[in-house]
Each structure stands twice: as structure tokens, then as C-alpha cells.
């Protein structure tokens, strides 16, 4: 069966420090991968998605970047965190068929101080 792992679960970082959140998927190949941010009162905002290795699409301009170095690995990064980067980040995957079903990770809560 397919599983998705995301880490770290919780992260407290100072302003200006770098960020790396990692997500891996097991049990499937060539998944579509996504990074969402869940902010209070703002719902789920799609940040990045990827259809394959090295292929990244950004939905909103921001201080973050994403990379997909391997088929089932998706990384969210920042060189210098801002206070506004605080939030709950969710990684998700979906199969090649466009069904509308996303499978989410457990999330990473980032607090920038």
C-alpha cells in the first residue's frame, strides 16, 4: 500500500535561517506531488506541484522553493525564513489518473520567531 511521510513534524526557526521540509512517498511510482500551506482562516493554499523529477510549478510567488530530486521525494526549502512563513505545511500525492483524490502527509508545523 502507498504511504507518505513528511518531516520534521514540528520546527521552530529564527528569522533569516534556512528551511528544509522533506516528503517521501512509498508504494507508488511517478506520483504527482504537492506542497500546501494551511493557514488559519485561509484554508489550504497550493504552493508547488510536480509531475516528475525536476519538474516544479509554483502557484504563488513567495519566499519558498521546491525541488524533486527523486521520483518519490519532494523538498520544500527557503534560504532565509520570514515571520510570514510560519504555518502548517502539508505534502500530498496523487496518482496519474485525475480523480480529485489527494493523499496527505501528517504535516509540518513551522514557527518562525
Binding site for other proteins (CB under 8 A): 32, 41-46, 49, 51, 90, 94, 98-107
In the complex with other proteins, the residue whose CB is nearer, 61 or 100, is 100
State the nearest-atom distance from the C-beta of 80 to other proteins, in Å: 28
Smallest distance, other proteins to C-beta of residue 100, A? 5
**Among residues 7 and 13, whose Cβ is nearest to other proteins?**
7
Evaluate whether 85 touches 19 at the Cβ level (below 8 Å).
yes
Alpha-carbon gap, residue 102 to 35, rounded angstroms: 11
Work out how close the CB of 85 gets to other proteins at its nearest, in angstroms, rounded to a whole number. 20
Q: Is the dihedral of CA 12, 16, 20, 21 positive or negative?
A: positive
Going by the DSSP 8-state scheme, the letter that residue 99 receives in this structure is: -
Least distance in angstroms from the C-beta of 75 to other proteins: 20
Instruction: Categorise residue 78: left if φ over 0, alpha if ψ from -120 to 50, beta otherwise.
Output: beta
**Residue 86 vs 103, nearer CB to other proteins:** 103
Of 14 and 61, which CB lies nearer to other proteins in the complex structure? 61
Amino acid at each position: 500500500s502507498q504511504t507518505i511521510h513528511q518531516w520534521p513534524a514540528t520546527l521552530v526557526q529564527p528569522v533569516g535561517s534556512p528551511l528544509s521540509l522533506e516528503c517521501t512517498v512509498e508504494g507508488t511510482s511517478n506520483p504527482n506531488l504537492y506542497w500546501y500551506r494551511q493557514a488559519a482562516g485561509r484554508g489550504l493554499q497550493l504552493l508547488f506541484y510536480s509531475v516528475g523529477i525536476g519538474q516544479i510549478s509554483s502557484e504563488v510567488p513567495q519566499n519558498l522553493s521546491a525541488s524533486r530530486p527523486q521520483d518519490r521525494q519532494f523538498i520544500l526549502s527557503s534560504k532565509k525564513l520570514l515571520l510570514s512563513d510560519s504555518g502548517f505545511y502539508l505534502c500530498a500525492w496523487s496518482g496519474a489518473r485525475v480523480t480529485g483524490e489527494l493523499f496527505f502527509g501528517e504535516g509540518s508545523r513551522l514557527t518562525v520567531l
